[in-house]
Amino acid sequence: MLEDYKNALRAGQRAYRACVARGQSPYLEVLDEILSGVNIVAQEPLGLVDIPAESIVGTKTNGRHTAFAANFMPLLDEGTEFAVKWSNLCDAHLEEGIHTPIIAYEYLNRFYVQEGNKRVSVLKYYEAVTIPGTVTRLIPERNDTLENKIYYEFLDFYKLSKVNNVRFSKLGGYAKLQTLVCKASEEAWSDDDRLNFSALYTMFSQQFYALGGSALNLTPGDALLVYLSVYRYSDACQSTPAQVRENLSRLWDEIKILTEPHAVQLSLEPKPGSEPLLSKLNIFAQKPSQLKVVFLHEYDAKTSAWVRGHEKGIEALKAEFGDRLLITNRENISPEVDAEQILEEVAHDNADVVFTTSIRMRPACLKVAAQHPKTKFLNCCLNTPHPLVRTYYPRTYEVNYLLGMLAGILSKTDRVGYVAANPVYGVPAAVNAFARGLRAVRPDAHVVLRWACAPVEGQPLNFSDRQDITLLYTRSSSEPAGCNRDYGLCRRLPDGSLQPVALPVWKWEVFYIGIIRSIFNGTWGSEASGKAVNYWWGLQSDAERVDYYEELAGGTAQLLNLIAEALQKHELAIFPAGGLYAQGHVKKVPQGDNYTPKELMEMDWLGECVEGALPQYEDLDVKTRGLIAINGLGSLKGMPL
Give the mean pLDDT of 496-507. 90
610: three-class secondary structure by DSSP? strand
What's the pLDDT at 530? 57
Lowest mean pLDDT among 209-213, 219-223, 272-276: 272-276
What's the predicted TM-score (pTM) here? Answer: 0.77
CA angle, 461 then 464 then 470, to 5°: 95
Closest by CA position to 270, among listed 40, 631, 544, 589: 544
| Ordered domains of the chain (ranges, CATH) | 1-141 (3.90.1530.10), 143-259 (no CATH), 291-394+509-522 (3.40.50.2300), 396-507+543-636 (3.40.50.2300)
The alpha carbon of residue 25 and the mean position of all alpha carbons in its chain are separated, in whole angstroms, by 36
The alpha carbon of residue 166 and the mean position of all alpha carbons in its chain are separated, in whole angstroms, by 18
Asked if the model's pLDDT at residue 28 lies above 80, the reply is yes
CA angle, 351 then 357 then 362, to 5°: 80
Which DSSP category does 258 fall into? G
CA distance 54 to 47: 20
CA distance 601 to 413: 31
What's the pLDDT at 256? 79
Q: Which residue has the higher pLDDT, 271 or 105?
A: 105
Q: What percent of the chain has pLDDT over 90?
A: 64
Asked if the model's pLDDT at residue 195 lies above 90, the reply is yes
Q: Which residue has the higher pLDDT, 19 or 531?
A: 19
